[in-house]
Amino acid sequence: MMEAMRFSSLANPLLAITLGVLIFHCGRKGDPIPRPRAAAQAPEVRLEGLRKVRLTLPPADVKGDPLAGVELVRVLYLPLALAKPSPEEVFNHGEVVLERRRPDLPGPGEPFTMDLGSLQRPQGWIVVVAVRLGNVAGRPSDVLPWMDPAL
């Protein structure tokens, strides 16, 4: 009887220590890491006159998942060169000349117009990029020509 009592008294602390180790050492420590956001697809853009761009935010990201979390839209400008650049060249070497932030943006797939009348740049090229939360820039739009405002 004494041995049974001794075993049970030793088992309880041993069981408590084992459970404590399992509970406190399971899983990752710290804040959960959010899932990385995929870049947005390229927005559809077209010129409406000389100083306005009509664009539609993409409805999905590059993985095909529904697009959420668009924080802003950027217009990038690259000066005129000998040949028409690719959208990636304007994105990589151009300068940000205009941004439009939430809450002034419509939802994904909805069109809106941006007035570029305040943009005082010589002839060149522009692209539009949707930027998601976390500063994840999407694919650049098609390259549009930018005419000198003096014309």
Domains along the sequence of the chain with CATH: 44-146 (2.60.40)
Q: 112 - beta bridge partners?
A: 55
Average pLDDT over residues 32-49: 83
Q: What is the pLDDT of residues 121-151, one digit of tens each?
A: 899 999 999 998 888 999 999 999 998 766 5
Model confidence at 23, pLDDT cuts 50, 70, 90, reads low
**Residue 62 or 8, more confident:** 62
pLDDT in tens, 80-119: 877 899 999 999 999 999 999 988 899 888 899 999 988 8
Give the per-residue pLDDT at 7. 47
pTM of the model: 0.73
Contacting residues for 73 by C-beta, under 8 A, at least 6 apart: 43, 55, 57, 99, 100, 105, 114, 128, 129, 130, 131
Q: What is the pLDDT of residues 41-78, one digit of tens each?
A: 999 999 998 889 999 998 888 888 888 778 999 999 99
Q: How far apart are CA 18 and CA 90, in angstroms?
A: 60
pLDDT at 6 over 60: no
